[in-house]
Amino acid sequence: MKHLPLFDKIPKFSKSLEVVKKNFFRVRFLAAFNILTVVIFGALSVYAKLYNQGDGVERLFSDPFNFWFPYEGILTGVSEVLWCIPVAICAFTFGVLRQKEPRSRSGIFFFFSALLLGVFFLDDRFRMTLILSRLGISIKLIYFCYGSAVFLYGVKFWRYIKTTPYLPLVAAFLLFAISRFEDIFESQSQGVHAMLEDGTKLLALLNLARYFWHVCHQEVWRHLQQREEH
């Protein structure tokens, strides 16, 4: 009797495999991102094996958890989550709006908002300012560049921002400024320093997330209504 291939003996498995394959390649760049990630992880595994660096690679995935103080860093974690919200929804809203009007004023606003906030998030999460300062670049110069970027952002999009409930956005940037000034001129009290630097940043992120959540929701809803009318 002729031996059938294993997959032919299991038609449901073969059919399921085709469905998975079809859906996997349906989303643009999904295959490339997954393959690239697997290659990077594979390279790290080989590096750890060849150079006996297993501990170093493991630290990349380690959790900053303190058994005796489980609350340690909890507000920092909340801040990092809040950072992601405006960046993600601005990028998503830009992607939705550009399908109909690639150069719309609101779409460009959300693109540059995602870009600016994304840079700030990466700086805060990966301590880029601290790293650059250790390389000899003045912190004041770095903050001046960031301040200039915020100023140009405000000038460029002020007309659009005025059409939105912009008070939380203005409050957020003012609170960020207080946080950064406190980082430069540290107060002697640790508690006061933590509240003025990290507390104001957390409050700024709450305002920022609330503002962009509302504005992005309004723009997407308007976009959907316009599509229904057409």
Q: What is the pLDDT of residue 162?
A: 95
Phi-psi sector, 187: left (phi>0), alpha (psi -120 to 50), beta: beta
Residue 15 binned pLDDT confidence (cut-offs 50, 70, 90): confident
pTM: 0.82
- Top mean pLDDT of 4-8, 20-24, 183-187 is at 20-24
Per-residue DSSP letter, 198:
I
User: Which of 34-38, 87-91, 107-111 has the weakest average pLDDT?
Assistant: 34-38
Instruction: Tell whether the model's pLDDT for residue 67 goes beyond 50.
Output: yes
The rounded distance, in Å, linking the Cα atoms of 10 and 38 is 28
| Tokens matching residue 107 | 């779409």
